[in-house]
Amino acid sequence: MLNIAENVFAKMIWIFNLILTNMKKQIRQNVFETNSSSTHSICIAKNAELTIPDKLHFSFGEFGWECNTLSSISEKADYLYTGLFANDRTDDINKISEILNSKGIDTTFEEATYKEGRTYSDNSGYVDHSNELGEFLDAVCNNEETLLQFLFSPLSFIITGNDNDDMDVDINVSYEHEEFYKGN
């Protein structure tokens, strides 16, 4: 009987070692890290009815590992603004403001604040691994209709989560849309 238990235990140790050997890992500055991080999926509806406000304020937000669905106009505006700011795309921020102003939408933007002697903002929020947003930012900044659909369609949304939980960040909708995925 003991031999069977020892056999099972030995196989379990072998499987555990196999998993550890094949697990993605990286050593940076003598700190062990796994390859887990935030995951964001963005759905932009096409040809949907729009709800266009008279005013829109863009604020900085914090978009990382939390599990959430962002669907309000202000949440989507904050995500876009924070991503653009984090990627030093001030020309695109100005372009978006001009587009929205031409549609009769009064836009305001939260100002970044800096402490004396610092080159980074104290209040600019973050999008985890914002450098991976390039394709999404290009799509909304280079196509007016995509920008309007993203911000003002109630069918457009962002799912935030991480690869450490069971939350599904897949976009499962039956209407015509574009998808963007940011994972790391």
pLDDT tens track for 88-140: 999 999 999 999 999 999 999 999 887 887 777 777 787 888 888 999 999 99
Cα Rg for the chain, rounded, in angstroms?
Answer: 22
pLDDT on residue 8: 56
pLDDT on residue 27: 37
* Beta-bridge partner residues of 180: 42
What single DSSP character describes residue 111?
A: P
pLDDT on residue 112: 84
pLDDT on residue 25: 40
pLDDT on residue 31: 36
Q: Collect all residues with Cβ–Cβ distance below 8 Å to 33 and sequence separation of at least 6.
A: 25, 26, 27
* Beta-bridge partner residues of 149: none
Report the chain's mean pLDDT, rounded to a whole number: 82
Percent of the chain at pLDDT above 70? 77
